[in-house]
C-alpha cells in the first residue's frame, strides 16, 4: 500500500519540487515517470525470485531496501539524487505489490 501511495504523493507536490530544485515543471514530472518505470521493471526480477527463494525473503528484503531508498529521496540535496532514489525505491518496493496475488493464492 505504501508503494502505491508514494506515486500520488509525489505528483501532488510537483510544483514545489520544481521550485525547490530549480527545474522546470516538465522535468519535475520525471520523478513520477521513473518511479513508475521502476514499478514496471521490478516485477521482472521479483516474481521469479518469489518462486525460487520463498515468500518471506522475496518480500521483506526488497521492501526494506525500498524503504532505505525512500529515506534517500526524503533527504535528497539535488534533483538527480531524488529521481534516482525514487526509481530504485519503487524497483525494490514493487516486490510486495507484485507478489500479493501469489500470497493470497497460497492461503
**This prediction's pTM:** 0.85
Nearest to 72 by CA among 90, 88, 63, 85: 85
Distance, first Cα to last Cα, the chain: 19
All structural domains of the chain with their residue ranges: 1-99
Confidence band, pLDDT 50/70/90 cuts, at residue 98: confident
Q: Report how far residue 96's alpha carbon sits from residue 99's, in angstroms, rounded to the nearest whole number.
A: 5
Place of cell 505528483: 11
Q: Does the pLDDT of residue 3 top 70, yes or no?
A: no
Amino acid at each position: 500500500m505504501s508503494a502505491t501511495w508514494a506515486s500520488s504523493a509525489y505528483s501532488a507536490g510537483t510544483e514545489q519540487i520544481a521550485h525547490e530544485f530549480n527545474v522546470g515543471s516538465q522535468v519535475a514530472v520525471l520523478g513520477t515517470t521513473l518511479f513508475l518505470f521502476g514499478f514496471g521493471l521490478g516485477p521482472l526480477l521479483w516474481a521469479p525470485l518469489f518462486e525460487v527463494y520463498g515468500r518471506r525473503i522475496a518480500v521483506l528484503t526488497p521492501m526494506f531496501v525500498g524503504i532505505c531508498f525512500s529515506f534517500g529521496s526524503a533527504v535528497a540535496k539535488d534533483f538527480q539524487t531524488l529521481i534516482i532514489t525514487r526509481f530504485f525505491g519503487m524497483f525494490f518496493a514493487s516486490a510486495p505489490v507484485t507478489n500479493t496475488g501469489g500470497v493470497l493464492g497460497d492461503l
